Amino acid sequence: MKWFRFGPEGHERVGALDASGQLRDLSADVPDLHLPTLGLDGLKRLSKLKPEAYPLVRGQPRLGVPYTGISKFVAIGLNYADHAAEAGLPLPKEPIVFLKATTCITGPNDPVLLPPSSVKTDWEVELGVVIGRTARHVAESEALSHVAGYCVVNDVSEREYQIERGGTWDKGKGCDTFGPIGPWLVTADDVPDPQALDMWLDVNGVRRQSGSTATMIFGVAQIVSYVSRFMTLLPGDILCTGTPPGVGMGMKPPQFLQEGDVMTLGIAGLGEQRQVVVTSL
């Protein structure tokens, strides 16, 4: 099932796609898609609803983050061999883990705001993994049973903050609007193999990233298991799992986002995003 939320920020309603891909308003029976409350069992109960029985969503409303209740936004760095090569860095022996601030989270088509002193803001299309059941020291063989679903994430990154300003990567990853999520939360039963998803990103209509989750160094099950050794993952938590090659930092010469640039990105079966880069909201 493909879930979404639509409407003005802070006043979103819940919807789902029907079999023909039309947007349906399920808010009469689903007041919120709050994963800490629903968990996997609740999400499975909701999957019995028939979107076709509900009214169509009219017009072209804003799409919000497709669910609520994100307590942690965990990210994995250098998780594609070809991306590590373009960055001139060795393959990691263990997953590189960092955190994105939850205050960076936005809807899939909301503007991306350049920080006032930014000179190296970059793009990264990534597979988002949404936790549906509490995961603590989970075995790799059991890891996927803790996943509620998947979504598209743009791990927007300010490279000067990330690399040249000392400390950890986090300061270049958590700026306001640096975490677009959606458009859909696609439940795990609709994604037979998360390691076989094509992904892409364009800037101003020019293809910059093209790849597949098949080339991950550490797969989804490995990542969920690994991260759960170091922190408890709760329903609603999201992990973004690395990006394929083609980021601006890896271009020769490097190319970074400017005001007015348009990013479009997507992952097969998970939908598409579109963001305009702005200097004020």
The predicted-structure confidence for 127-174, as pLDDT tens digits, reads as follows 999 999 999 999 999 999 999 999 999 999 999 999 888 877 889 999
User: For residue 151, with 0-12 CB atoms within 10 Å meaning exposed, 13-18 middle and 19 or more buried, which class applies?
Assistant: buried
* 105 is a domain residue: yes
User: What's this model's pTM, rounded to 2 decimal places?
Assistant: 0.96
Tell me if 37 is assigned to some domain: no
Residue 132 in domain: yes
Q: What is the DSSP letter of 245?
A: S
Lowest average pLDDT, out of 24-38, 159-173, 204-218, 242-256, goes to: 159-173
Q: At CA 67, angle to CA 137 and CA 229, rounded to 5?
A: 10
Residue 18 falls inside a structural domain: no
- Beta-carbon contacts of residue 174 (< 8 Å; ≥ 6 apart): 99, 100, 101, 103, 104
**Whole domain around residue 146: which residue ranges?**
65-278
Given a cut of 80, whether residue 243 has pLDDT beyond it is yes
- For residue 44, tell me if it sits in a domain: no
Residue 100: give its domain's CATH number: 3.90.850.10
Q: CA-CA distance, 139 to 25, in Å (whole number)?
A: 38
Residue 158's beta-bridge partner residues?
121
Residue 86 tokens read as 């373009």
The model's confidence at residue 126, banded by pLDDT at 50, 70 and 90, is: very high
- Give me the number of domains the chain comprises: 1
The whole-number pLDDT of residue 39 equals 94
Considering the chain, what percentage of its residues have pLDDT values greater than 70?
Answer: 100
Is the pLDDT at 240 greater than 80? The verdict is yes
| Residue 54 Ramachandran class (φ > 0 left, ψ -120 to 50 alpha, else beta) | beta
Output DSSP code: residue 62. Answer: P
Say which amino acid occupies 279.
T
36 assigned to some structural domain: no
Residue type, 103: T
Signed CA dihedral, 122, 124, 273, 50: sign only:
negative
Beta-carbon contacts of 168 under 8 Å, excluding residues fewer than 6 positions away, are: 98
What distance in Å separates the CA atoms of residue 222 and residue 17, rounded to the nearest whole number? 30
Region 39-54 average pLDDT: 96
The answer to whether residue 34 is domain-embedded is no
Q: Are 99 and 88 in contact (CB under 8 A)?
A: no
The stretches of the chain forming alpha helices (DSSP H) are: 35-46, 81-86, 159, 220-227
**pLDDT greater than 80 at residue 86:** no
> Per DSSP, what are the bridge partners of residue 99?
74
What are 225's two structure tokens? 């298991």
